[in-house]
Amino acid sequence: MRKLVYTGFMSLDGVVDSPGGGPGEEHRSAGWVFKDLEFVPEAWTLKGEELEDTSALMFGRRSYELFAPTWPTSQDHVSYKELPKYVVSSTLPDDAVVDDWGPITFLRSTDDVAALKEGDGGAIYIHGSAVLAQRLSDTDLIDQYNLLVFPVLLGAGKSVFGRADRAKQLLSLRESETYSNGIMKLVYDVKR
């Protein structure tokens, strides 16, 4: 069975919306990850660790549409270029595949995601994709959360965690670390 990992930047009040400030990011504080904080290299080691563990990437429709124009040629994302990508969308047409970005497969439902997890292979990482992450969390498909929590309160915006009335879900802290600039690394496994 494959592991499904959500990885993301999060404000202290749980917002994951528009962290980088790139094109298409609409939050009024877009770019909050890179503003106002001292750069501390060790706070970013989680991203390097993830590269070693990632066997495939998963995106929701909106994140795919935002990342697909830039990630294939980005030097920051060169390690992801040839990895398989899964895009969960019921609306994107099959011909929305981006050239020169490795194999891309469209999944049309959470049932398709569940079937993918049942197959062989390594960890699949979800980047961005807050709406998708909420859906997958609500259907108990996410196995691990890798979070870099920033010392900022954004007040409003998308969250990974939905507000649906659902059964309690326990997490087990696998790893944590704090850095001199206030960023916290939190890695949680979902208890089953």
Q: What angle do CA 50, 127, 79 make, to 5 degrees?
A: 50
Residue 86: which pLDDT band, with cuts at 50, 70 and 90? very high
Which top CATH class is 4-190? alpha beta
Tell the residue number behind the tokens 């069975």, with chain if given.
1
Edge to edge, what strands does the sheet with 85-88 contain?
104-107, 85-88, 54-60, 123-127, 4-11, 144-150, 184-190, 171-178
Which residue is it, tokens 């890695």?
Answer: 187
Q: Which residue has the tokens 């066997």?
A: 55
- Across 32-45, average pLDDT: 90
Q: What average pLDDT does the segment 80-100 reach?
A: 93
Lowest mean pLDDT among 36-40, 46-50, 144-148, 162-166: 162-166
Of the candidates 165, 151, 160, the residue with the CA atom closest to the CA atom of residue 190: 160
- Residue carrying the six token digits 């010392």: 151
Does 104 or 166 have the greater pLDDT score?
Answer: 104
pLDDT of residue 136: 95
Q: How many residues does the chain have?
A: 192
User: Which tokens belong to 34?
Assistant: 């890179």
Specify whether the CB–CB gap between 136 and 113 falls below 8 A.
Answer: yes
**Domain residue limits, the chain:** 4-190
Query: What average pLDDT score do residues 103-121 get?
Result: 97
CB-based contact 30:18 (threshold 8 Å):
yes
- Choose between 156 and 5: higher pLDDT: 5
Band of residue 19 on the pLDDT scale cut at 50, 70, 90: confident
Degrees to nearest 5, angle at CA 17 with 16 and 19: 80
